[in-house]
Chains A and B, each alone.
Chain A
Amino acid sequence: MKEIKVKFILNGSPIEVLSSPNRTLLDVLREDLGLTGAKDACGGEGECGACTVISNGKPINSCLVFIGQVEGAQVLTIEGITPKDGYHPLQKAFVEAGAVQCGYCIPGAVLVAKALLDTNPHPGDREIKEGLSGNLCRCTGYQKMVDAVHLVIDGGLDD
């Protein structure tokens, strides 16, 4: 199959990838670029949110986007929000609130929370829950994730 060339901004840096068009952004992130933070937990149905990335400021499921559709977009993955030494406040908060057990769903949940806080710095409980409703967790459940987001909003994080 004819490959296509796709240019976009990945975690702040311009990038050009060559791929057959029937691969998703998730495939390219994981298999070509070694960015394995985004995960597939539902088999590419868009049901689980584990593959969430932020594209042009909006959370999207990277399993539901063909690579060619990313042309020109600003894509942010969990690797892109993690400082070289240390963690993003949301990452710290998820740990502190005990929201992480197996960890598989966490990168997606953190990115959804980041996209929410970027547009609405003081969401209420309901908005946080609605925001996270597309992210499935099978370990700790959801209350601790909600608590984690509150920790960041209220500035209750230990340094």
Chain B
Amino acid sequence: MQDFEFYRPGNLLELKEYLSLPGARVLAGGTDIIPKMRQGKFTAPILVDTSGVKSLDFIEDQGERIVLGAMTTHQQLAESRLIQETNPALREAAASIGCIQTRCRGTLGGNIANGSPAGDTLPPLLIYDAEVLLQSLEGERSLSLEKMILGPGQTALEPGELIHSISYQPLKGKWGSCFLKVGKRSGMAISVVNAAGAVVLDSSGQIADVRLALGAVGPVVIRCLETEKSLLGKRPDQGIFQQASEMVQHEINPIQDVRSTTSYRAHAGGVIAARVLGIAAERAARRKD
């Protein structure tokens, strides 16, 4: 294991101070960074552990928005009633990550900072137009999640900057959302393709709003805007979701890698896109308000 200096600040200000040191990187849960360091795929002269900064560990309903501290673990998301009530797709995604041991360590902030095209929390956050709050000694700025993730493993984080929190606006009216993924096995597998969908129905049962995002089918998680547009104003049934499934395959741009082939990813992407939309529509139809 490579050498590094280690700091464990006890509050947010100290964390920002340590992070301003040249070469300093955040160590959150460590479930991705530590194996990468062993393989020599991640190096940093200074690691700043965030586990002592309790003010980054929260799930809050702030009225207009739900705000999630960067240190919220996947297990906390999976067990949160507020997440289930406002973004069931995110709860399902968090519950599907790794195993209990890694969910208890891995954090939401870490999943975003990794910028993995296969990051499971990203599609459910993207369909809710999530915002990321970044902070440093210099100040803070807010970015859409879309602008935050630039490419595989690349984010808009500047040196000295940390993810403070992630927020999203709950959907209103008769809505439903859902997350599904395809992997090699149910425990521990990294997604071959994942998808989150949300559907809002108007009083006549037609689609008033629809959002669809797919992961691991391009350099970054993708919102399928064309497919979304084609579904607006339609009545949700198997037929239109089948058409959506075909459209999705033209909007995504999967690669071939150790986990899967281009053609399998395109096909599976279409299949789970139709499924998440179908389930989201059913959930919307069941909602009473």
Contacts and interface: CB of A to CB of B under 8 A. Distances in A.
Contacts of A49: 99, 101
A23 B29 CA distance: 15
A47 B190 CA distance: 11
A69 B168 CA distance: 30
A91 interface: no
Contact of B3 (A22, A24, A58, A115): A22
Given A1-B3, A20-B3, A133-B187, A66 B104 contact: no
B8 A69 contact: yes
B203 interface: no
A77 to B, nearest CB: 14
B22 interface: no
Contacts of A58: 75, 100, 104
Given A64-B105, A134-B98, A46 B31 contact: yes
B56 to A, nearest CB: 14
B5 A64 contact: no
Nearest to B185: A133
Interface string B153-189: 0000000000000000000000000000000001110
A7 to B, nearest CB: 11
A4 interface: yes
A41 to B, nearest CB: 13
Contact of A64 (B34, B47, B51): B34
Contacts of A68: 6, 8, 49
A69 B49 contact: yes
B105 A65 contact: yes
B51 A69 contact: yes
B8 to A, nearest CB: 6
B4 interface: yes
Contact of B27 (A63, A66, A72): A66
A71 B47 CA distance: 15
B1 interface: yes
B188 A134 contact: yes
Interface in B87-146: 98-102, 104-105
A22 B4 contact: yes
Contact of B100 (A2, A55, A134): A134
A66 B6 CA distance: 9
Interface in A14-73: 20-24, 43-47, 49, 52, 55, 58-61, 63-66, 68-69, 71-72
Nearest to B49: A69
B100 A66 contact: no
A80 interface: no
B218 interface: no
The 9 lowest CB-CB distance pairs between A and B, nearest first, are A134-B99, A133-B187, A21-B6, A58-B104, A22-B1, A61-B101, A68-B6, A1-B3, A134-B101
Given A134-B98, A135-B99, 9 more contacts: A22-B2, A46-B101, A58-B100, A58-B104, A66-B30, A130-B100, A133-B99, A134-B100, A134-B188
Interface of B: 1-6, 8, 27, 29-31, 34-35, 38, 47, 49, 51-52, 75, 98-102, 104-105, 186-188
11 contacts: A1-B3, A20-B3, A22-B4, A24-B34, A58-B75, A63-B34, A64-B35, A66-B27, A66-B30, A69-B49, A115-B100
